């Protein structure tokens, strides 16, 4: 019954109204076809996605750089405001490095000593003297 009412309404329209309706339908159909074409264009969609990813990556990198700069600036301000604890920490770290270097040097020296003792003992035996203890 609804179909007969639609048919009656369409027959009551003037040719100009029908022509305008046809043009509107064509425009809507053209828009729909354009949208479908864009959705099926894999190459263009991939390129758009890549461009969006690059833009997003740049934004993220810029935000991270800004955050890093802010953190560094806050750290510098903290050290400048109260340098004593940081000087003490730096001195302690330096002392640890020096102590480690001294211990490594002593260890290397001790590692050489057994071979020196052995060579002295061999020389003493070659001369006919008893080896030293």
With respect to residue 47, please indicate whether it lies within any of the assigned structural domains: yes
With respect to residue 7, please indicate whether it lies within any of the assigned structural domains: no
Q: What is the pLDDT of residues 41-59, one digit of tens each?
A: 778 878 888 888 888 877 7
Let me know whether 71 and 21 are in one domain.
yes
Q: What is the pLDDT of residues 55-103, one digit of tens each?
A: 887 778 788 888 878 888 888 888 888 888 888 888 889 999 999 999 9
Let me know whether 59 and 99 are in one domain.
no
Residues 6+ apart with CB under 8 A from 21: 13
CB crowding 30-39: b at 16 or more within 10 Å, else e: eeeeeeeeee
> Number of structural domains, the chain?
2
- Domain span at residue 92 reads 84-133
Let me know whether 18 and 63 are in one domain.
yes
Let me know whether 18 and 74 are in one domain.
yes
With respect to residue 129, please indicate whether it lies within any of the assigned structural domains: yes
């Amino acid at each position: 019954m609804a179909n007969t009412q639609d048919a009656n309404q369409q027959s009551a329209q003037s040719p100009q109204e029908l022509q305008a309706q046809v043009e509107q339908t064509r425009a809507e159909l053209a828009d729909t076809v354009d949208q479908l074409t864009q959705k099926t264009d894999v190459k263009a969609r991939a390129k758009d996605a890549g461009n969006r990813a690059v833009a997003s990556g740049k934004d993220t990198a810029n935000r991270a750089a800004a955050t890093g700069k802010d953190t560094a600036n806050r750290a510098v301000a903290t050290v400048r405001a109260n340098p004593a604890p940081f000087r003490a920490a730096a001195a302690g770290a330096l002392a640890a490095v020096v102590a480690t270097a001294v211990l490594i040097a002593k260890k290397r020296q001790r590692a050489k000593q057994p071979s020196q003792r052995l060579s002295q003992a061999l020389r003493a035996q070659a001369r006919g003297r008893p080896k030293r203890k």
